[in-house]
Chains A and B, each alone.
Chain A
């Protein structure tokens, strides 16, 4: 059971020894929807066909409009983005019953779609379980098994969108961005918006901005479509995801030498470059691992490790010159090792796959 019903969204079932559901409720953020699952027919049905939901998830931007009241009237002064979240509305409810599907019900507690379980081997408990495991579009299961609104909003287009979706969906494996966006068992308190940018200069792959509780990662559209390979784009997305994660980590409780001595130490030593320095020292392996998984391990580990160095072997200076300020981790490599890394990156940029399908 959950410690607090207020954070629970999903279905609650009680199943007897005969696999009959004897009790079922739908709960939305701790609020019980009594009327949906207690129609008269419900009690006579078996677990063979239990529930399914058809939910539509909307991305909701919440704004506050500010108005100025003057002697001449009311005048709108500004609009403030205060939060971004998902809201789900469920239209169809699959109530238990027998037989073939009987229709595509819509509209709250009206008609119900009914499916046969059709799984004599495993029985229908599995089917119910699988349904319960699926949080639905726009929701993901957190560390405690609770379905929570997905915190990453993908507004990418074209090749970047294709790469991102492969990173998330690749063999139904882990979402590397989300993994980077969490702090161990502590769910992230921040949203991440991924979007394209046409205003970044031609040398910049991406930028990350944080406003309130939302990180906005902007991917350079020109470089994505014309210069970067799919692996390079994946690396950029991972790199920016780690920026967001580190900034979140630094901000969650207020960074200081007591709460986050590691982060604070990097900040104290490297000032504005602290997160690149920290990423170069501790997070390159996460990038390399994510790239390897994205690429289905077609290359050696050293290849992905070399690619992970991009953006960490060089930090731009005030004049936007790259290749001038090196991270400490980079300086610890031998000249030969550095040459191998740079040649791998150069070769990937020249000959790597630039098409995402």
Chain B
């Protein structure tokens, strides 16, 4: 019995290890009604946000008076904050798929999708968009981009 348990344990360990080493593909179906997914048509860049904008009070920031920044404790204001990630499309990684092919893919929701962005070496990101033809979709690889 102990031997069998050991064999099962080894088998499970190998399975888990091989899964962890595998480069996986993540799919996000673009929902055009989702206001947290924005596409800049000119650059084909997407911003995907975690949550809706939050109104935040800022009261600890210097005030620019002309060209000089002044520590003004009285200065406060409300502003909208929103955490988003940006994706740009990768050229030549674009194809058309059918609805039946789409149904075979493991498609993640927006929030689940974003939760995989910490480890972007081990994942390839694909966005899927419906075309004007019913039952036809464009699938395109996108890359996470950080701006400064």
Contact = CB atoms under 8 A, between A and B. Distances in A.
Interface residues of A, number: 53
B120 interface: yes
Nearest to A317: B82
B96 to A, nearest CB: 11
Nearest to B87: A209
B69 A251 contact: no
Given A208-B146, A254-B20, A272-B50, A263 B118 contact: yes
Given A80-B92, A209-B88, A255-B119, A243 B71 contact: no
A338 interface: yes
Given A236-B148, A318-B84, A339-B71, A251 B50 contact: no
A267 interface: yes
Nearest to B43: A199
A13 interface: no
Contacts of B92: 78-80
A343 B147 CA distance: 23
Given A210-B121, A271-B114, A317-B82, A335 B62 contact: yes
Given A275-B146, A318-B47, 9 more contacts: A78-B92, A79-B92, A204-B147, A208-B145, A208-B148, A263-B118, A274-B118, A338-B60, A339-B62
A336 interface: yes
Interface of A: 77-80, 199-200, 204-213, 236, 239-240, 243, 247-248, 250-252, 254-255, 263-264, 267, 270-275, 311, 316-318, 324-326, 331, 334-336, 338-339, 342-343, 346, 350
Contacts of A263: 118
Nearest to A333: B60
B85 interface: yes
A174 B38 CA distance: 42
A250 B122 CA distance: 10
